[in-house]
Amino acid sequence: MELLTSNNVWMMICTALVFFMHLGFSFLEIGLTRQKNTINILFKNFFVITMGLLVYCGFGFNLMYPGEFGIIEGVLGFAGFGLDPGIDYDQLTYAGGGYTYWTDFLFQGMFAATAATIISGAVAERIKIGSFMLLAFLYVSIIYPIVGSWQWGGGFFSTFISEDLGFYDFAGSTLVHSVGGWGALVVIYFLGARKGKFSSDGKPLAIPGSNLPLSAAGVLILWLGWFGFNGGSVLSADPALTSLTLVTTCLAAAAGGIGAAVLSGILYKNLDLTMFMNGVLGGLVGITAGADQMLPHTAILIGLIAGGIVVLSVALLDKCKLDDPVGAIPVHLFCGIWGTLAVGLFGELAGFDQFMVQLACVGITGVFCVIGGTVITLIVKSIAGLRVDEKEEEDGLDIAEHGTRAYGDFSIN
């Protein structure tokens, strides 16, 4: 009982840290976008966590952890609506005594909301609030839990080739971050770029954010929250494994920031704070798939490469005329893919077979999310449209969608 208590307390602390990450996402997005859209950003982030928890309680948890895949073996199952540990529930044996059923739900529910938060940042400053809410609801309700069930719910990813050789994604480089990143990529493709983002000849133009100190605070909060995101994914308070996980997480974050800052400095001849900050986040996303398996020097290498990927993928999106105001897709999609593949290169079972399993599951996830995200986006577009009109975008979504501004006019007594 004492071991269960200590494990469960650690898991609850980690749950609180992951919850705290939503403040970090809010600060990051507010600071990297314009002041006239601040309330809109906050509203979306409040909606994501509130809706995400309710949906996950209603049916998402049981769609992701069906127990038996009674609908399509290994692909789709459903354990019913609502939360019910069952008449045979024993908290001393549930999850090997690592935590209770209720802690399990709450910890996983925090992860579920994160996928929609990734989309929120990428579509900022031009999407209709109602359309975003419907998109987020459908994505969290359907896409995220189904993909999660393929691995964490015991589906076909976990035994992709055999009982001994399956996909490995410790805390969700693919299952959380890339799932959100693919959804974001699909939506911004249909949504289009912000007015003024690209010149008449297609060159990208900078749209400065309103508050970089606030964004910096958001990144540091997210880094702190990752102690829970990765540390909690140990699923116990095991001292050796938890400590290693936190060390590799921090080293990858540090290396990601340095990698992005150095490469952007070489390419663009300036010290770009936003690249530095997103490099830190890219390092965190990159290590998330294998944080429990990597040695310190390997974590540093993964982070350095992730930082470089952030810089290069920002340039790629600009070249493709895709507008992501906060860099969500470079951080969560591209670094999520890299971190997942890195398990096949540097993990405990590293080798050709494991790498190909990782690659195949990344590809399957991408295809499913792109197709599912496209269907969802087109449904929402046909029902409510996606984008506010030019006048509303110019005035700001705070006025157009919420009827007020985030900050008072202190020049008026």
**How far, in Å, CA of 365 to CA of 341, rounded?**
13
**How far, in Å, CA of 238 to CA of 7, rounded?**
8
Show the tokens assigned to 305. Answer: 């490469």
Instruction: Report how far Cα 59 is from the mean position of its chain's Cα atoms.
Output: 20
What does the H/E/C string look like for the chain? CHHHHHHHHHHHHHHHHHHHHHHHHHHHHHHHCCHHHHHHHHHHHHHHHHHHHHHHHHHHHHHHCCCCCCCECCCECCCCCCCCCCCCCCCCCHHHHCCCHHHHHHHHHHHHHHHHHHHHHHCCCCECHHHHHHHHHHHHHHHHHHHHHHHCCCCHHHHCCCCCCCCCCCCCHHHHHHHHHHHHHHHHHHHCCCCCCECCCCCECCCCCCCHHHHHHHHHHHHHHHHHHHHHHHCCCCHHHHHHHHHHHHHHHHHHHHHHHHHHHHHHCCCCHHHHHHHHHHHHHHHCCCCCCCCHHHHHHHHHHHHHHHHHHHHHHHHCCCCCCCCHHHHHHHHHHHHHHHHHHHCCCCCHHHHHHHHHHHHHHHHHHHHHHHHHHHHHHHHHCCECCHHHHHHCHHHHHHCCCCCCCCCCC
Mean pLDDT, 10 residues at a time, the chain of 413 residues = 83 96 97 96 96 96 93 94 90 84 95 91 96 96 97 94 89 97 97 93 91 97 97 93 97 98 96 97 98 97 98 97 97 98 95 96 98 97 95 94 83 46
Q: What is the pLDDT of residue 410?
A: 53
Q: What is the pLDDT of residue 412?
A: 47
**How far, in Å, CA of 280 to CA of 350, rounded?**
25
**How far, in Å, CA of 32 to CA of 124, rounded?**
10
Q: What is the pLDDT of residue 364?
A: 98
> Residue 150: which residues within 8 A CB-CB, separation 6 or more?
74, 75, 156, 157, 158, 167, 361
**How far, in Å, CA of 116 to CA of 140, rounded?**
7
- Residue count (the chain): 413
Phi, psi of 271 (to 5 degrees): -100, 95
Q: What is the pLDDT of residue 409?
A: 64
**How far, in Å, CA of 270 to CA of 285, rounded?**
25
Q: What is the pLDDT of residue 413?
A: 42
**How far, in Å, CA of 168 to CA of 343, rounded?**
7
Q: Can you list the domains of the chain with their CATH numbers?
A: 2-158+166-402 (1.10.3430.10)
